[in-house]
Amino acid sequence: MVWLVLFHVLTSIVGFGPTFFSFILLRKSQTISDLRHNLILHHKLHYFPKIGGTLAVISGILLVLLGDYGTILQVWLFGSIILFMAIQVLYIGFILPALFELQEWVLHPNNRASTQLPLEQLMLLRKACNYYYVVIILTLLIFTFMILKPN
């Protein structure tokens, strides 16, 4: 069981890790060239949450099924599940579409010579960054629930 807990903690760290600095990659005060590079890097880094997050969920389910953690309706456990689902909704429903649209403009060959983001793309960047702040707070709450296990 100790190995499963260790696996769960490590996959959680790997899964949530890129979230904590994604807003830095998407900062507003950067050149379009830097943003282009950072969007590509962001895309590559988010394989970690896809794989690590999935493994963390699977190992978490196994811990609940195999361990002596009590009912799933405990605040720390049920709250963590709800927060994780909220993070998924924010990421899949709001962050990814904004970044996809932004990336489409930034990586388009006709926009290579641009030195400034148009207002529409700047708003997409701000939107994604603001949602990342919310995701970071929710992620910290999950870690807090997992560590403190409030009733």
Q: Give residue 11's pLDDT band: very low, low, confident or very high (50, 70, 90).
A: very high
Q: Please tell me which residue, 72 or 142, carries the higher pLDDT value.
A: 142
- H-helix or E-strand spanning residue 53: helix 47-66
Per the CB < 8 A criterion, the answer to whether 141 and 69 are in contact is no
- Confidence at residue 97, expressed as pLDDT on a 0 to 100 scale: 95
Give pLDDT tens digits for 114-141: 888 999 999 999 999 999 999 999 999 9
Which positions ≥6 away from 119 have C-beta within 8 Å?
none
Parse the chain into domains and list their residue ranges.
2-148
d(CA 69, CA 5): 12
CA 121 to chain centre: 21
Which contacts qualify for 117-121: CB closer than 8 Å, 24 or more apart? 117/32, 117/35
